[in-house]
Amino acid sequence: MKKFRLSITLLLFMYTPIQAQTIRLAVKAGDITRYNSIVYATLPEGAGEVTMEEVGNGKRIPVNVSVHNGQLCWMMTGTTQAGAERVYDLKKGHAPGAPLLKAVTQSGHLLLEEKQSPILQYNYETVAAPAGKDTVYNRSGFIHPLWAPNGVILTNIFPNAGHLHHMGIWNPWTHTLFEGRETDFWNVQKKEGKVRFAGHLETFSGNAWCGFSAQQDHIAFGKDGTEKTAITETWLVKAYPATDKGSRRQWDFTSTFTPASPNGITLLQYRYGGGFGLRTTADFTANTSQVLTSEGNTRRNADSTRARWVKISGTTPKGKAGLLIMSDPDNFDSPEPLRVWPEDAEGGELMFNYTPTRMKPWQLYAGSRYQLKYRIMVFSGDITAEEAEAAWQDYAHPPQVSYR
């Protein structure tokens, strides 16, 4: 088994006296009405760990907050009307008790959870293909399961003989030109390349978010059996507290990548690959699930269209649930094109992919960093198109924060 370095960073919340000058900040909603908005701000230099209170109407209400790499994060709970302003005070110190959201390493995988309720699982050790199947399908570096708040599992791996390479949430590039040779990192059965966990995992626990950072390599296979790293990639995943009586949760997915070769790599135009790839639960079929995009398209006509967000929902034996995938407006060729399987694919089962290179190629140059970002909302039951659009607007146009 490949050895790797595993470093775990837990934000432990132990009681310490608060003896510091108060720092006040204000959050402006701007021209968007916001709901349970996730807020980030740069922490003043030297502030260290802090506690937070919201100030208003003669009240001071404690707010859960996380600090990491000089960034402050919290949730502006409830509805904040367009044009409104909310005020918060910071003080040096640590909140008492254990963190509310945890990243827990277990045997071969990392589990994100809130109060023992699972959020998602990242598999950093290799997961073996089903018995009797080619070991080329063995895979590490993917998310599965992804849970809805009501416990419905929304993802699937090794779904069937035709698409054993579909692995929950994953994002390998399909059609590339690497050092003069076309290389496919998605269809591993072609034995041209694949993605692997690269040996470094950092985890974070806290009161406002938990998550992880993981390094992954896109490996190209030579005809002589040699291997060469074509792309180095880092995933950063952040999960936030559940809201709406536990029926909704948001988490962020960021992929940062750079060519590993001095010659760079070309991500050739192709109908799927890269971006955000999802194989949904087998319970989501053409008869039991629905697809809706920001442009009003459904599963019947969404393929090859563009969308700011895509909602996938359905009914399972454990209840109704779904997820909303929101694309960052700064992503390549935004709003990104979609790959959505037709309703007659494999018994109606569903594969979805935000595919940045569907309409045009993307040249990656050595020494340059590239990034794709998405926010995902998982939900029990369903959400409306209006709620989906409001969530994307809040994500794409975050509130303004100023210190006083």
Whether the full predicted model's pTM is greater than 0.75, yes or no, is yes
Q: Write out pLDDT tens, residues 112-154.
A: 999 989 999 999 999 999 999 999 999 999 999 999 999 999 9
Q: What is the pLDDT of residue 44?
A: 85
Q: Is the pLDDT of residue 186 over 90?
A: yes
- Cβ partners under 8 Å of residue 225, min gap 6: none
Q: Is the pLDDT of residue 242 over 70?
A: yes
Q: Is the pLDDT of residue 184 over 60?
A: yes
Mean pLDDT, rounded, for 313-320: 98
Nearest to 79, CA basis, from 32, 112, 118: 32
- Cβ partners under 8 Å of residue 25, min gap 6: 41, 87, 88, 89, 90, 401, 402, 403, 404
Q: What is the pLDDT of residue 385?
A: 98
- Report which of residues 173 and 15 the model is more confident about: 173
CATH of domain 23-92: 2.60.40
What is the pLDDT confidence band of residue 49, given thresholds at 50, 70 and 90?
confident
Q: Write out pLDDT tens, residues 324-382.
A: 999 999 999 999 999 999 999 999 999 999 999 999 999 999 999 999 999 999 999 99
Q: Considering only the top CATH level, what class is 101-399?
A: mainly beta
Q: Write out pLDDT tens, residues 55-107.
A: 999 999 999 999 999 999 999 999 999 999 999 999 999 888 889 999 999 99
What is the pLDDT confidence band of residue 18, given thresholds at 50, 70 and 90?
very low
Q: What is the pLDDT of residue 133?
A: 95
Dist CA 402 CA 88 (whole Å): 10
Mean pLDDT, rounded, for 214-237: 97
The amino acid occupying position 105 is T
What is the pLDDT confidence band of residue 15, given thresholds at 50, 70 and 90?
very low
What does the domain layout of the chain look like in residue ranges? 23-92, 101-399
What is the pLDDT confidence band of residue 12, given thresholds at 50, 70 and 90?
very low
Cα 128 to chain center, whole Å?
24
Q: Is the pLDDT of residue 1 over 60?
A: no
Dist CA 242 CA 149 (whole Å): 8
Same-fold call for 23-92 versus 101-399: no
Q: Is the pLDDT of residue 5 over 90?
A: no
Nearest to 114, CA basis, from 253, 303, 242, 297: 242
Dist CA 27 CA 18 (whole Å): 23
What is the pLDDT confidence band of residue 19, given thresholds at 50, 70 and 90?
very low
Dist CA 146 CA 155 (whole Å): 6
289 and 315 in contact (C-beta within 8 Å)? yes
Q: Write out pLDDT tens, residues 381-399.
A: 999 999 999 999 999 999 9
Q: Report the half-sphere exposure of 98 (CA within 13 A, side-chain side).
A: 6
Q: To the nearest whole number, what is the mean pLDDT of the chain?
A: 94
DSSP state of 98: S
Q: What is the pLDDT of residue 185?
A: 98
